Amino acid sequence: MSTPLSLRVFEGEARVYRRVWRGSVVTSFLNPILYLLAMGVGLGTLVDRNAPGGLEGISYLAFLAPGLLAATAMQTGAGEGAWKVMAGFKWRQTYQAILATPVSIESLVYGHLLWSAARVLLVSVVFAVVMAAFGVTPLGPALLAVGPALLVGVATVAPVTAYTARLEHDTGLSNLFRFGIVPMFLFSGTFFPVSQLPGFLQPVANAVPLYHAVALSRWIALGITPRVAPAVSVLYLAAWIVVGSVLAVVAFRRRLVR
């Protein structure tokens, strides 16, 4: 039985990553440590001092860590769908070269999404291990919380890939992060409960994929019951993946098939 060509695309990405993995692994460990030290321990000390009951009845470090796990996965997915895709089309033009082989548009897109999922999984597992090392939760629940993080990472990379495939200049990527990814990172319940937002903004926050991943991660890691049924959140994230993947295939075909 022949190997699906999407796996060949995945293999190509893995061969490239084999030469640069050391730098990214160091960053993957360093980022969660610095985030949790600065925000969870540093700022968390002030928050716990002024809110003796904590947020949701737990310390700020415990509240923050699962949210940052999901948010880091989302940011990783956004990066995989943005700069790497722009490079494939414009700067390195690797996509044109790949299509000179038997690889189809669908295999190219699905291979890219599969590799991006692997990158999100790696970053999320590292974050979960660091989270457990900080004593937020045992290692088992921390690793289980990687599931929602992986979902939101892929739910981000798929539509961002579709968006990037339609761009001629990278200015659109800067705008995407400035007006999309960063606000979603800040106002999806990662750093404080969404209930503290003004009433008219709460439905907006609830519609953002990261909100559902943060709630699921806290539910799995800490047992905090989410406001939205977990099954609904999972289906919502899955819908983003499916729709984003379809749009990405359409965008790649319009861009690469003349």
Q: Which DSSP string do the residues of 113-176 spell out, in sequence order? A: HHHHHHHHHHHHHHHHHHHHHTTSS-HHHHHHTHHHHHHHHHHHHHHHHHHHTT-SSTHHHHHH
Q: Indicate the length of the chain as a whole number.
A: 258
Query: What domain range includes position 146?
Result: 5-256
Write the pLDDT tens digit of every residue in 193-239.
888 888 888 888 889 999 999 999 999 999 888 889 999 999 999 99
Write the pLDDT tens digit of every residue in 67-79.
999 999 999 999 9
- Collect the ranges in the chain with pLDDT lower than 70: 1-3, 23, 25-26, 28-29, 39-40, 43-57, 258
Could you give the C-alpha distances from 141 to 78, 199, 231, in angstroms and in order? 25, 32, 18
pLDDT of residue 246: 96
The total number of structural domains that make up the chain: 1
The closest of 56, 8, 251, 24 to 126, measured between CA atoms, is 24
pLDDT of residue 177: 92
pLDDT of residue 134: 84
Q: How many CB atoms lie within 10 A of CB 102?
A: 9
Round to whole Å and give the CA distance between 10 and 61: 36
Round to whole Å and give the CA distance between 153 and 79: 10
Round to whole Å and give the CA distance between 55 and 77: 28
pTM: 0.90
The closest of 19, 180, 94 to 172, measured between CA atoms, is 180
Q: Taking CA 73 as the corner, what is the angle to CA 71 and CA 74, rounded to the nearest 5 degrees?
A: 65
pLDDT of residue 44: 64
pLDDT of residue 1: 37
Q: Give 84-91 contacts, CB < 8 A, sequence gap 24+.
A: 84/112, 85/112, 85/160, 85/161, 85/164, 85/165, 86/164, 86/167, 86/170, 86/173, 88/112, 89/164, 89/165, 89/255, 90/168
Directed axis angle between helix 105-133 and helix 230-256, to 10°?
Answer: 140
